Copies of this chain bind each other. A is one copy, B any other.
């Protein structure tokens, strides 16, 4: 098969985070697929078709992109952040596994990008400076009990926790429940970072504590980082505090 599919990470929102590798892959494509707001970040180019779809249609979008590649096109499927982290690369692999056998001969490449937790962490210091987990709070595709079990395991073993997909209109209570759960496992002073739309014009980053963390301060564009027992805050005069997790850790239980 002559078609190709590149699944491309655009990073956290601004052109200054788009790698040369991603730009080259975008330039090589005949057809662009993606969630509308991500496609809008890519400058228009003559002769390149565009196929926008809704946020929730990952599976259908992946299948459409694979079908176009199988028909011989050079296809770019764009993703915010890194396509491999709670994003389109897994949806493409799932669609490929479920699709016709000849899709396995397609040239599929994944172009990595700066995922949201790295951008949020960079804004406040180094909260992911030592062992950490990335956990999606969406219970659309997994049971809530599994999410609670993973929160317990991560907090109990002293991992810093990055929370993706914390809240949405259809999932209004999950973040509050997660905070409750974490409050039963971690000290009230544990640092919590809310990073909203980092790398975009409406960016807002705040540092608070687990005791004071308000789920209503998050929206769909927010990524959260919950510290561990090794996460510290440095207050700074006239500047936002720095949050970091020590490179050294003791074996004490959380």
**Interface residues, chain A, with chain B CB atoms under 8 Å away:** 11-12, 14-21, 24, 58, 82-87, 89-94, 96-97, 104-105, 108-115, 118-119, 121-123, 125-136, 141-143, 145-146, 149-150, 152-154, 156-159, 232, 234-239, 242, 244-251
Contacts and interface: CB of A to CB of B under 8 A. Distances in A.
A91 B247 contact: yes
Q: Which of A19, A96, A152, A158 has the most CB of B within 10 A?
A: A19
Contacts of A93: 125-126, 129, 232, 234, 242, 244
A52 to B, nearest CB: 21
Given A90-B245, A93-B125, A157-B153, A136 B146 contact: no
B118 A247 contact: no
Contact of A150 (B19, B122, B158, B237): B158
Given A20-B16, A90-B245, A126-B92, A131 B150 contact: yes
A85 B128 contact: yes
Contacts of A18: 19-20
Nearest to A115: B118
Given A90-B126, A149-B157, A143 B247 contact: no
A80 B92 CA distance: 29
Contacts of A96: 234, 242
A39 B15 CA distance: 25
Given A89-B244, A126-B93, A143-B250, A133 B154 contact: yes
Given A96-B234, A132-B134, 15 more contacts: A17-B112, A19-B19, A19-B114, A83-B126, A90-B125, A90-B245, A104-B239, A105-B239, A110-B122, A112-B114, A112-B119, A142-B250, A149-B251, A152-B157, A154-B159
A14 to B, nearest CB: 8
9 contacts: A11-B19, A16-B21, A83-B122, A84-B121, A90-B130, A97-B244, A110-B121, A131-B133, A146-B158
A128 B84 contact: yes
A217 to B, nearest CB: 23
A197 to B, nearest CB: 15
Contacts of A159: 133, 150, 153-154
Contacts of A234: 93, 96-97, 104
